[in-house]
Structure formats: C-alpha cells, structure tokens
Structure 1
C-alpha cells in the first residue's frame, strides 16, 4: 500500500520524468517525490529545439514542462545539475555525483538518450555541433543566423528527422546546406525509400544539396575552425559548420551498472521493460527514450524516441509505480514540421516489415496520407498536410485492419468506414 512514508525517485529531467512527477501527485501520492537531473535547467520539451525555438519563433520560457514554481507548489524535490552515477539496488539508493545518497522505495529511470558522435578526425573543431539540449539549440541558432548573413555553408551528417528539420531551419535563415546520408533516400529507417524520395524532393526544391550513399570521414579546419567535410567516396564539401545528426543512443549506463536487463541492439537497445514499464527489478521502472518496452500490439520490443512516448510513458510508469494495473500499448506517434509541410506519423513499419505502400491523396501536392501494409494489415500511417485524421489512422492500426487497398487510397471513403473491412 502506497503511503506518505514512501519515497519515489525519478532520474531524468525531461518530459517523461516531469510528467511522471505530475501524475504521482495527480493520483494522490503523498510521499516524497524526488526528481534528479544532470541538467541545470528545469524539465523541458525537446521538439522545439529543432523546430520553433531554433527558428526563433518560440520563446525560451515556452518549452518548459512546468513553471519553475510548480515544483515547490507540488512538493517535488529537485536535484538539478547533479548526475545520478550509481544505483544501489540492495540498499535501494541512488548515488549522486557529489556523493549524496538518495533512498527510494520505487525508482523511475527516465534518463533519455544522447546524440551519437561522429568517430572521425576533426570533431574537436569549434564548428562541430550536436542537438539535444537547450544549450546546443541556443548555440546552433546563433550559428545558423551567422551562416545566413554570411552565405556560409552547413554540412549535416544524417538525413533523419533532426537532420532534415535543422536543414529546413538553416535554409530559412539563408544558409547553404549539404546533407550527407549513407542511404539512398532521407528517413530511410522510418519511411523506407518510397516516401523518403518525397522528402528529398521537398528539400531539394528549397535549395538543400544531398550527397547520398556516403559518410563523413574527416572534418578539416584551420585555427580551430571548420573549413570542409570529406566523405568516404573522395568528395569534399565546403563547410563553416557541421551538425552530427546520425541518431541517438539510449542512456543506459546507470541501468547497466546496476545489473538491470537491457534490450539488444536489434530492438534499439535501451532498458528492457515489460508492458507495465517495469524493469527486471520489481521496484525500478523506465520510461521515455531510454526504455525498450514489450509492445503488445506489434508483438515485439520497441524503443521509441519521440515526444509522445515521453508524454504518455512517464504517466504510465508513475501509475505502475503506484501499483495500478498498466498495459502500455500506445501506438507510436511523432510529428515534424519542415518548411510548409507538417506531418504526423502513427505506427511502426521499418523497411522489411511491410510489403505495400498505399497513397491516399496527391503526393505531388504534399497533401496526402501514406499507409504501410503487411499482407494487407495496416502497420503505420502518416498524414502530410492533412489534419484531424490521427484518431482513425491509429484505430486502423490498433484493430489490425485489412482494408481494401483501393478504398484505402480513395479520399472520398471515410477512414472510419474502413474499420468495417
């Protein structure tokens, strides 16, 4: 029975951790809630860092999950700017970087992820950037503005979501942009080649240059500043700045050193959790980017790095910590904005998992819905500049619907009617 004598500790100062703390109080937990973050900032949301905040369209204060005063008002104890360095499972305590031990009855690991690093010469130059934290975005915003003023060149390693969103922002600032990507199309790991080509066209129309089928091998510079980026096929691209956008790695060091089970690389790595977000230790839970959960809908272990997973996973883990019955079966969801294109993606359909892509609408006008199917079953759907359809798209995925492809492609057929077969 949960009572006021218990202490629940949350490690991680992102959206998942903040929403978990909020949920504990909303569900009536009266014990101690302690939130530990290695960042000095109060918990904030990360999508604006590559979207509105990076473009200067959103104020800094708008990205925080709660007002700073909210934490004291709800009796949430904050340890900011102090990393958690070890978990003593036998003693049920978290050790902080300054040696402090924080005891817990239940522990939530919402440690998030970190940018993967380029392992090539030249990454120590001043013009090499990553994007994960507020400080990264603030620095990059100034760099993009300067590149735009001076007709400077930005080279981006990686054509994933972060790479493309920053490319769009850089072009809006007026910078020259080259994206280097080992696959043949952008967003290959998520959308596959069929839809990835559409995003190549979008960015090329806005002046972005792509170098597909290549990887960066060296960043050259002078006096500590970036001058060029070289690729493994012998090309050299002029560059005044380089962004490494080659993916994110789950922050699992704390869990690994504590002996918790981890997911294998084939499932994205991460801290292995069951459908209630419980780890191999019954008193430790994990949520957000760091967690790799058994997903009952897709019947596999998934690690989802996107905003909605943190928004919903944190509260689900909090309820599980309180002993509530929890089955975390949310359909993965994310959104992106690039130039005048907005999109929402629901589901999970990496290349190799589907055998058909159905387009509903006009892809040439970038007003369409794409569906990924396997043996007729809808695995995922992405609406591009078509709105208020996420709910029926997710309903098709949840139901394991196998609609007639011609009706699925027909915009005159209501999506809701396709649930009937």
Structure 2
C-alpha cells in the first residue's frame, strides 16, 4: 500500500520504517526540517535497538522517504497520525495542539478513498471529534483509531510482531471498509496469528491509557510493599517472587525499585485523570493519584537511603550515579527517575557524577549543571557512594572487586534491585537495595 506517516518522532519514525520493511511504500512527513534531513540520510535521531539498521535498509530500498511537504501525502491511501501529545503544564491534560495542527494540514490532501488512522495517545472523545471534522470537510475520507503499544527498547519488534491489533472504527459499511484497509496494512501480522480487536472509537482510545494505568498501578503496588518491607525488616524480592507464582498476578512489572518514568506512563495516567474528571468519572480514577504519589515517593526514598549510607549528610560526599535514561536500551530522559534522583542528590549537597551508555547527551541537554562522564570508572573514581538507578546490562555485569579499586568507600545503593547482594558484600561492599533486608 501507499502510506503516509504524519509525525516522525519516536513513534512515527519507527512505524514508518517498519511499514516500509513490510513492503509498503511510505512517506514520512514532519515539520522539523533537521529531523527530516537526518532521517532521509538514514540517520536515527534517537537510540532504539535495531532501528538504525531498519531505517537505512528502508531508505536505501526506495520504499521510505521523508519530507516536510504535506502535499506529498496525496498519493497515499492510508495516513497514520503519529504526533506526540505532551502533558500540559497548567493542568496535566494532554496537549492536542500538535495533533490537531497535523490533522488540519493533512485535510486538503485527502479524498474519498483515504483512511486517516490515529495512533497518537489521545483523550477519549478526540477520535469522535476528528471524525466529525472529516464529515464536514467534504473530503469523503474516513477515520480509524489504531493505538500503539510500543515499549522503548523493543519498539521494532513490537511493531513488526505486535501482541494485539486494536481497530476503532465507525459503524456499518464505513467501519467495514476501514477494517479492510487496516487488514491490508497489517496483513503480515494477521497471517502470523496476531489477535485482532475491532471496536468503537471510544474503546480503542481507552485501551492504551487503561493499559498504562494498570502497569503503573502494578509497579507502584510492589513499591508500596517495598516500603512495608523496610518497616518490618522483610524482603520485597522474596515477597514479589511468591506473589508472581500466582497466575492471577504474574511476575511481570513486579520488581520493586525506583519506579516508572519516561514519556508515556507518567503523562498518560495524569491526562487520564483529567479526562475522567471532564466526563464525570473522576472518582473512578482517584486511585491513580496514589499511584503517582507512590512513584514519586520511591525517588525520595532513594535519596534518603543514599543519605543514610553517607553517614546522615551529603556534605563532602561524592556520589557516582549509574544511569540517566528512564529505562535501559533507551536514550530517553523524559521524566527519568534516574535523572530526578541525580538532581535531588546534587541539590541536597552531594557532588554528583552521572554516567549512562546512551543518554549522556540528552542528560546534559536537559540539565547542563550535572557532571556527566562516559565511563563508569571515571564516575566512580573517589566516590563515597555508588547509586545504580538505570538497570543497563553493563551495570548489572559490573565486577564489584574491580570497581572497588576506583571508589573511596565501597558503598552501593541498588535502586533497581538487580544486583547480587552476596557477591557485592563478599567484595567488601556495603550493599543496600530498596525494600531488601
């Protein structure tokens, strides 16, 4: 098929490259000329495993090109809206200005054979509004909502081999036509047996925010249990293991630690609460305020543990912070718990040195006052405390004996509970995890 992808940020660029990989002819459209030029040269503007190779292959094949000219969408039959919806500062709601602007810019280039497919995470009711705008535009084009479920670090695989496909379509013949178009786009995944859910606009928009709210709740639940374990001298890792064997609960997202961050979960649960209030269902989601508060408290607890390990004061303390990205296999520092902890430690009086395998440049761009270095050994030299805040495999594989030769004091705070306490203690380290004995 001929496909246009509107918005070539993280979601759009990955989606465009994957669609081209599947054999479609794709044009990616973005208003940022520098981004367009970089992508056109096969240069990935962000770190995502497997994406640079896929991008270069798609561009070189001729099936993928990028432009800032919306008129080049005119030859496409399916148009994916992949524009970001950041959080509004004033009230926490989703900012739809960019999505709306992209949608309006696309309208003049649509005709009756076209399908506009929303992938952006938007408040329920947005698709209905856009469908109404299409009806009055005279283009004859239709709208579907097809939420994305990408995990940073696994985005390519999640696009090529999704665990489900959700279509939000109108009733009757327009819905059947929209479903047929989407089936053509995702023919490879459907042939592989990917589950397909065809539903209404409202349900399709709710799936993504409901999924993120559930995951955030599960993460905050085990972190709340971590607090209880610390108060009772219990071990949250053993507790989580025992809970995980219950197949009604499962062990995924049940590892206590520093909590969640990034560009999706925090903003989505806040925007979901705002939208619930607008439709009169605010009490139904009031628990998400507690989920958010527990998540923030995990960061505060990490700083307090660090203070205790430094003898009750950060005065004169040098701390090596291992991690800046909000999760491993990503260079994304948006609402990063790792960076938040580093900044809290610095503002509390510690001399902080940060290192991350991929996110150093973005960390410096976001917070120029931080001291950022490329190597773990450089960060650890002379440190009174090492704090692991992003669970990169490189950090999990560190040799405690070797690292011990660089630091001033062998003290480590494992804020992700991924290290082997026995191995570090045998090497002479004072080890502490969150919620661990």
The structure with the largest strand share of the pair is: 1
The structure with the largest helix share of the pair is: 2
Identify which of structures 1 and 2 has the higher relative contact order when contacts are C-alpha pairs closer than 8 Å and 6+ apart: 1
Q: TM-score, normalised by structure 1?
A: 0.31
Bigger CA radius of gyration: 2
Q: TM-score, normalised by structure 2?
A: 0.30
